[in-house]
Amino acid sequence: MEDLETRELRYFVAVAEELHFGRAAVRLGIAQPPLSRAIGRLERRLGVRLLDRNRRGVALTDAGRVLLREARAALDAVAAAARRTRRAGDPKRPLVLASKAGASHELLQRLLDALASEPGAAPVEVLLCEVGEQARLLRDGRADVALMHRPFDDLAGFDTEDLCVEGQVAILPAGHPLASRDQLTLADVRDVPDLPIARWPRLDGSYPDGPGPEVHTQSQLAQLVALGRTLLVIPASSRAWQWPEHVAVPVVDAPNVTTVIAWPPSSHSPAVASLVRSAARLRDTAPPSPAGPRTTRLRTAIAQKD
């Protein structure tokens, strides 16, 4: 019943992701036989079958799926331990704040300004990342704190503080008929035949079925909109998407999006606590649009550049 080693977990994750011992071994930089042995020993020690080795390839069992999820979390925790310890030893470590590239730009700007003007605040390093990447950065210790968006991002396992609430806009190619409307509903933008919703890859890299184009970066998507191939519904403050060729139209019945500041619950760092306090103070004293209370709806119709 002695507990698992991280090496075994890494090996299992590699095999479970590749579903192929040979490729997994290459990825791990070892030969295939030791990998087979390690997985076999893991199954023996856990007393559970993790993989179905059928004809031509490998499939995960139910227990294997559980271990894949748990092992990823455990490996993240181990990596976070190493990273946070290294950074704790660095006397003038900056705090790392992760934010989705292009999202909540004004909020981030004001937050950084406020921190810069505060005398005792620790320096902050900003890490701009792709959609959904913040959670992993927080979990494995590469970031100390992150700006995330409810209900889009998975906030499970983090402590959070709401910062602001805003509506959503549809981003359309400028020439499209819908672009001339001054407001839309979800029904209007759902199933527009010539503007199918784009598809993002799943964790395993595969794409869901559907008519829309396949994308994996924000720039791709923004360009596809400009080309008149798809449309988006995003929070009003997202800036990276909005090209001159785009038109933003408020979607009145889309669910509101809350920008939150999130941090790992294990964090007892005073620097993180003080950053969160600064962010909350910012929210309470300087609402982004005048006359708004804490939950200001910033539905400012985005000015079309020129």
Partner DNA sequence: ACCTACTGATACCTGCCGGGTATCACAGCC
Partner DNA sequence: GGCTGTGATACCCGGCAGGTATCAGTAGGT
Residue 7 burial (10 A CB sphere; 0-12, 13-18, 19+): exposed
- Residue from 30, 63, 127, 174 touching its own copies (CB under 8 A): that is 63
The distance in angstroms from the start CA to the end CA of the chain is 68
Q: What tokens were used for 168?
A: 């959503």
Does position 39 interact with DNA (CB under 7 A)? The reply is yes
From residue 195 to residue 234, what is the string marking binding to its own copies with x (rule CB under 8 A)?
----------------------------------------
- Residue from 88, 227, 252, 273 touching its own copies (CB under 8 A): that is 88
Number of residues that bind its own copies (CB under 8 A): 44
Q: Are 169 and 298 in contact (CB under 8 A)?
A: no
Residue 198 CA: distances (Å) to CA of 27, 66, 92, 240, 257: 31, 30, 43, 17, 20
- Residue from 26, 30, 48, 174 touching its own copies (CB under 8 A): that is 48
Residue 207 three-state SS: coil
Nearer to DNA, 4 or 280 (CB): 4
Phi first, then psi: what are they for 181, rounded to 5°? -70, 155
- Residue from 118, 265, 281, 292 touching its own copies (CB under 8 A): that is 265
- Residue from 33, 34, 157, 211 touching its own copies (CB under 8 A): that is 157
From residue 44 to residue 73, what is the string marking binding to DNA with x (rule CB under 7 A)?
---------x-xxxx---------------
For every residue of 133-151, DSSP letters joined together read: HHHHHHHTTS-SEEEEEET
Nearer to DNA, 4 or 128 (CB): 4
Q: What tokens were used for 61?
A: 């069992």
Nearer to DNA, 31 or 116 (CB): 31
- Residue showing tokens 């209900």: 151
Nearest approach, Cβ of residue 77 and its own copies (Å) = 4
Name the β-bridge partners of 147: 99, 261
Residue 59 burial (10 A CB sphere; 0-12, 13-18, 19+): exposed
Picked from its own copies, DNA, none, the partner binding residue 157 (CB below 5 to 8 A depending on kind) is: its own copies
Residues 6+ apart with CB under 8 A from 119: none
Stretch that binds DNA, among 33-41, 81-89, 134-142, 239-247 (CB under 7 A): 33-41
Which residues of this protein are in contact with its own copies, per CB under 8 A?
A: 3-7, 9-10, 46-50, 61-63, 65-67, 69-71, 73-75, 77-82, 84-86, 88-89, 141, 156-157, 159, 265-266, 268, 303, 306
Residues of this chain that bind DNA (CB under 7 A): 7, 19-22, 29-34, 36-41, 53, 55-58
